[in-house]
Structure 1
C-alpha cells in the first residue's frame, strides 16, 4: 500500500487536489473518503467533479444518499452519513455503481468498509492549521491507484 499526505491551507487548494484526482480517473474507479463533519470531503468531491468535466454545482447528497452527475465520465457521489448500520448500507445495491462504467466517490466510506472493492483510493481528511486548513492522507489499494498517486506526487510538490 502506498500513501501520500498533504497540507491544504484553503478550500481552493483542496478543490485543486480533487481536480487533479478527477483528471486522472478512469471508468470503474472508486474513491473512498473519510473524516469528521466539515473536514472537506464535499469540497474535495467538488474538485474531483471539475476534473471529470462535471458542469454546475456539486452538493453533498446527505439527504438523498446518491447523486449522479454527468461529465467525461459519470460521477456517482454517495454520502453514507445518515446510515449507520451495515444492513442499511448493504441494501442500497451499490454494486451497480462500484462496478459500473462511471466513477464512484463515497463520503463517510468508513461506515461500510466490508462492502468496498479491494482496489480503491482511500482519502482521510482531518482538520489542519487555521480555520480552513486540512490534512489529506491518500492510500492506494492496488496498482492502478499507486500510479494515480505517483501522478499526483508529480503535480504537487507538497505531497510526500
Structure 2
C-alpha cells in the first residue's frame, strides 16, 4: 500500500490511525533516509497509543521506552549496530513483550527480526520538502489484516 502525505502532520495522523489498531507484540520497521520522518511517524504512533510524553529519536540510547499509554511503546534506533552487537540487547524480549516495538534502521539487524512485521518505508519527495510517500509492506497475516483495516480508516 502506498500513501502520499503532504506534511509532518499528515504523517502523524496516519500513524495515529494505525496505532489505534495495534496490539501487544506488534512490530513496525521504519525505513528511510535521515530526515525522512521516521521519528515523526513514531510520535504519531505514540499519540495514538495515548502516550503524551515527548518522543525523541533514540539514536544515542538505542532504545526508548514509553509506558504511559494503552500499550507500552518501544522505540529503537539500531543504526549504530551496523557492525554488530544487536544480540546483546535482548530485542526478542521487546518483540515478544507486552507492547509495540518500532525499529528504525532494521536492515542492520536482520537475524534478530521475527518473520512477521509491518515495514514502512518513508520516501522524501525531491520536488517538495514536506511531502512524503509511505510504502506499507505487511509480512504475515496479522499485518495484512492490519493494512486492510487501516484502509477502511483512511477511505
Output the TM-score relative to the length of structure 2. Answer: 0.94
Q: Return structure 1 stretches of 4+ with deviation > 4 angstroms.
A: none
Cα separation, 2, equivalents of 1:9 and 1:144: 28
2:25 paired with 1:16:
no
2:114 is matched with 117
Which of 47, 52, 57 does residue 50 from structure 1 map onto? 47
User: Residues 65-106 of structure 1: CA distance to partner in whole angstroms, max 9, x if unpaired?
Assistant: 101102111111001122212x31222111110111111000
Which of 69, 73, 81 does residue 71 from structure 2 map onto? 73
Aligned residue pairs total 153
| SS of structure 1 residue aligned to 2:136 | strand
Cα separation, 1, equivalents of 2:109 and 2:42: 19
Alignment of 1:128-147 (within 5 A): 128=125, 129-147=127-145
Between the two structures, name the one with larger relative contact order (CA 8 Å, sep ≥ 6).
1
User: Residues 83-130 of structure 1: CA distance to partner in whole angstroms, max 9, x if unpaired?
Assistant: 212x31222111110111111000111211222111110101111241
| SS of structure 1 residue aligned to 2:79 | coil
In the TM superposition, residue 14 of structure 1 has moved relative to its aligned partner by: 0.2
Which of 2, 27, 33 does residue 5 from structure 1 map onto? 2
2:147 paired with 1:153:
no
Gaps in structure 2 of 5+ consecutive residues: none
Please say if residues 38 and 104 of structure 2, whose CA atoms lie closer than 8 Å, have aligned partners that are also in contact.
yes
Output the TM-score relative to the length of structure 1. Answer: 0.92
